[in-house]
Amino acid sequence: MKTRILGTSGLEVSAIGLGCMGLSHAYSHIPDKKESIALLQSAVEHGITFFDTAEVYGSGANEELLAEALAPYREKVVIATKFGIQLVDGKQVQTANPAHIRKSVEGSLQRLKTEYIDLYYQHRVDTNTPIEEVAGVMSDLIKAGKIRHWGMSEAGVKTIRRAHAIHPVTAVQSEYSLWWRRPEAELIPTLEELGIGFVPFSPLGKGFLTGTIHKETTFDKSDFRSIVPRFLPENLAANQSLIDLLNRIAAPKNVTRAQIALAWLLAQKSWIVPIPGTTKPHRLEENIGAANIELTADELDHIRVALSEITVKGDRYPEELEKRTNI
C-alpha cells in the first residue's frame, strides 16, 4: 500500500484508510463481532494503517471493537476518533465545551485501550463554544501526550482558519466524491494554503458510486440512507449518468466503478486520503486496489468535462442535518 502525508503535519498514513462507522452504526446490516475483527485485521494485513471511528458510533462500541481488533498492531496503525456529538433523546447534539472534551478524550482512551489517540477530530462545530477554546484544549491534550494530532469534521473555512491560528490543524474531514464536489470551491484551496490534510468520507457516495444502487433499491428504516433525499427513487434514477461515466472509464482499464471513483479522488491532491467504509471483505480488497490505479491526463480531462455537464439531483442530507455543516 502506498502512503501519504496529511498536509504538512508529518502524519503518514496509508493512501486509502478505512471508515469503520458501518461496523457498528448507521446502516441496516451490522456484521457480528467476529466478522468485524477479521475485516479490520485483514485491512492491516493488506496495508491499511489509517482507521476512522468516533465516540458516537454505536455509543462507544465502535471504539471498543477497534481496540480489540487492532491491539496486536497498535504501533503500526493510526487511529482517528472524534468527539462532540451526543445522542440526546434520539437526536444528535453538538457539545464541545472544554469540560466535555476532557471527559470525552478520557472515555475514548479507555474504550480504545490506548495511551494516546493519533488524530482527534471535533466531529461537528459547536456554535456555543468558541473554536479558539476548542483549539486551546487540543493544544493542552497534545502537550499532555493524550493526542498527537487534531482535526475538524465538516467545518467551514472561516472556523478552520481561526482554529488553525491557535494550534495547527492536521486534517479536515468532510464529504467529497464525484457526486459531492462542494469542497472544491473553498475548502480544498484553504487546506492547501494552510498545509492541512483532507480526509474525504463517503468517497463512494454512501455506496451509490459502486453502481449497485438504483431506483428500485429500498432501504430499511435503520439505514441512514432511508432519510437522505439523494436516495429517493427519482434522484437515484436521475443520477445514473454518474454511473455511466464511471463505466466508460472503468471498462477499458478492466477495473471497477468504485476503484475509478477512489482513484479520481487520489488524483486531485497528494494530501487527500479517502476513507471508504465497508463490511464486506471483497469490497475491502477492491477499495485497496484503487491505490494502484493511475488515471491518465486524458482520462481525468474526460471526467472533468463530463462532470461539468452533469447536474446531480437531490440534497446530500435532510435540511436539519445540513445546517450543522460548514459552520
What is each CA distance from 158 to 101, 154, 155, 186, 219, in whole angstroms? 22, 12, 8, 10, 36
More confident of the two residues 134 and 226: 134
Query: In terms of Cα–Cα distance, which of 185, 183, 186, 155 is closest to 169?
Result: 155
> DSSP per residue over 180-197, as a string?
B-GGGTTHHHHHHHHT-E
pLDDT at site 2: 96
| Span 54-78, average pLDDT | 96
Half-sphere CA count of 133, side-chain side, radius 13 A:
14
pLDDT at 319 (0 to 100) = 81
Cβ atoms of residues 109 and 115 within 8 Å: yes
Residue 90 has pLDDT above 80, yes or no: no
Helices 257-268 + 281-289 axis angle, to 10: 40
Higher pLDDT, 320 or 102: 102
What are 240-274's pLDDT values in tens digits?
Answer: 999 999 999 999 999 999 999 999 999 999 999 99
Query: One of 57, 120, 121, 176 is an active-site residue; which one?
Result: 57
pLDDT confidence tier of residue 26, bands split at 50, 70 and 90:
low
Interacting residues of 125 by C-beta distance below 8 A, sequence separation 6+: 94, 96, 131, 152, 154, 155, 156, 159, 324, 327
The three-class DSSP label of residue 304 is: helix
The pTM for the full model equals 0.95
**Which CATH superfamily groups domain 3-207+264-294?**
NADP-dependent oxidoreductase domain (3.20.20.100)
Mean of pLDDT over the chain: 95
Residue boundaries of the structural domains of the chain:
3-207+264-294
Amino acid of residue 299: E
Confidence of residue 28 (pLDDT cuts 50, 70, 90): low
Read off the amino acid at residue 325: T
Which residue carries 468516533 as its cell?
54
pLDDT at residue 117 tops 80: yes
pLDDT band at 86 (very low <50, low <70, confident <90, very high): confident
- As a whole number of angstroms, the distance between CA 27 and CA 225 comes to 8
Question: pLDDT tens-digit profile of 169-215?
Answer: 999 999 999 999 999 999 999 999 999 999 999 999 999 999 999 99
The total of other beta-carbon atoms located within 10 Å of residue 71's CB is: 11
Query: What is the pLDDT at residue 40?
Result: 98
Task: Based on the residue annotation, tell me whether 317 is a catalytic residue of this protein.
Answer: no
